[in-house]
Structure 1
Amino acid sequence: MTWRQEGAAPEGRMDTPGYVILSRLGAQLRATQVLAHNLANADTPGFQAQRPVFAQHLQTPPDGPRGASTAYSIDRATWRQATPGPLTTTGNPLDVALRGEGFFAVETPGGEERYTRAGRFGLSPDGRLVDAEGNAALDARGTPIVIGPGDTRIEIQGDGTIRSENGPLGQLRVVRFEAPQKLRAVGDRLFAAEEAPQPVERPGVVQGAVEGSNVRPVLEMVRMTEEVREFQLATSFAEREGERLQTAVERILRRRG
């Protein structure tokens, strides 16, 4: 979950409606950006749709009437929709998907351990099992999995054990987290964790399949249409508020003149 720092609302009086609508415009812009990001990743394996979380900041003027307050929109967080995506059969023996909770563990070229639901694996030139970005898939001991040139018939069992005609080659490291919403997205497929991962005792590994994105484009387009309409309404209100302030300024100047 990505947390955003809460900002204090301005102390304006005459401009208060303007500040309120500006906070609303910021919220609508953020919601539209999240939806656009979801739509852009509708075909990304293992991608999980994101949803923005907004809150209200209530400000009560010190000399205002009792119980009167102004509500400002605040962008508080972004949470991920953890519903599994659909499984697509590929026929590639190195493609794997998870039926149920958990993440595959991979190691980046910089040596950091990252986590993913996208199990579209292949082989690097040195025989390592790697994901689409070249990150090495890790085994249960936390070391990269290597498949030799003589290992031609690959079988991946439900618990993640990898075997060939020459015997066992390792077991995919599948982990879980107590607070998965706190995972930090690194790109569109990987996550970084602050807490220690826990092994999944009985992972549901499916060979020859890939988990797709859980984004439902039709629903996202409906949400996008609604957010655009809200943004247009807020923009219209901001324009009218600007005209009101301009008229007030002109009246004040005429009186002083």
Structure 2
Amino acid sequence: MNRGIYPVVAGAITQERQLELLAHNLGNIHTTGFKKDDSVFGTILARSVGQPVAGFDLFPQVATVRPDTSQGTLKFTGHDMDVGLQGDGYLVVSTVDGLRHFRGGQLKINSKGELATQLDDPVLGENGPIKVPAGTMNIDRKGIVNVEGRQVGKLRIESLPPTTVAVKVGDRYWQVPNQVTEATNVEVFQASLEQANVNPSMELVNMIKVTRAYEQMQKAIQSMDEMTERMIRSANVQ
């Protein structure tokens, strides 16, 4: 068996994984607050019998996937129940699985009269769920919630320490780490939604590049396979 085929196969698998990530990003360009995923490449030393061969035993791989948490564009919707954030911060949501971070989106009033996400999870204020009585609701840039001019709560907004890597839970929520800080450089925009931070043109260009690289690796695999077959036939003739 030609050992040189293994790194090429690993490279093809890596390109296939990259293609999946790009497709996932493009599929969420209309998901409010979505943050695209970026792949981090690495290599892994194969466990092979005999002495390692330079270049043959180092397999490429997608070492990890990291979300790009850069700001998405805020789009004015005119709907009072829409909320978007500008800056490095997250709203805090109470779910059946525990607390989750949330970049904002289309909110509603749940059956308990609480401000909640479309998944019916309460959006927390500084003192717990925010009860919203009947009337016109207004949320200012600092996250203070008023109904008919009376303050009913203030949105709990948190930031992550600089060394903390944000971890996704689905496409809308984020895991709340053990250490968080109160956000000080975040503005709340009512009647606005944060768009996905995906650049469709760049993602399509990257998808074309990855597809071409994958095709080249397929051709290399086929050439190596044909070479091995010719060698076997030649050995049988002798």
1:144 paired with 2:124, answer no
Structure 1 CA distance for aligned equivalents of residues 59 and 228 of structure 2? 20
Give deviations 1:196-224, integer Å, cap 9, x for gaps: 22211353111111101011111111111
Give deviations 1:113-165, integer Å, cap 9, x for gaps: 01121332111232221112222101123x2222123xx12111111110112
Change (3 A) 1:44 1:64: closer
In structure 1, the partner of 2:7 is 20
Instruction: Specify the SS of the correspondent of 1:233.
Output: helix
Instruction: Specify the SS of the correspondent of 1:35.
Output: helix
Output the amino acid matched with 1:116.
Answer: F
Give deviations 1:218-251, integer Å, cap 9, x for gaps: 1111111111111111111111111112222222
CA RMSD of aligned residues (A): 2.2
In structure 1, the partner of 2:34 is 47
Given candidates 63, 73, 93, the residue that maps to 1:106 is 93
Number of residue-to-residue matches in the alignment:
236
1:205 paired with 2:188, answer yes
In terms of fraction of residues, the more strand-rich structure is 2
Percent identity between the aligned chains? 24
Of 71-80 and 16-25, more deviation after overlay is shown by 71-80
CA contact (8 A) 1:21 1:237 kept: yes
Give deviations 1:75-130, integer Å, cap 9, x for gaps: 2111122221111111112211111110111111x151011213321112322211
In structure 1, the partner of 2:77 is 90
Structure 1 CA distance for aligned equivalents of residues 234 and 67 of structure 2? 51
CA contact (8 A) 2:92 2:101 kept: yes
Unaligned runs of 5+ in 1: 1-13
Question: What is the TM-score with the length of structure 2 in the denominator?
Answer: 0.90
**Within-5 A mapping of 1:1-257:** 14-57=1-44, 63=51, 68-70=54-56, 71-108=58-95, 110-141=96-127, 143-149=128-134, 152-165=135-148, 167-178=150-161, 182-255=165-238
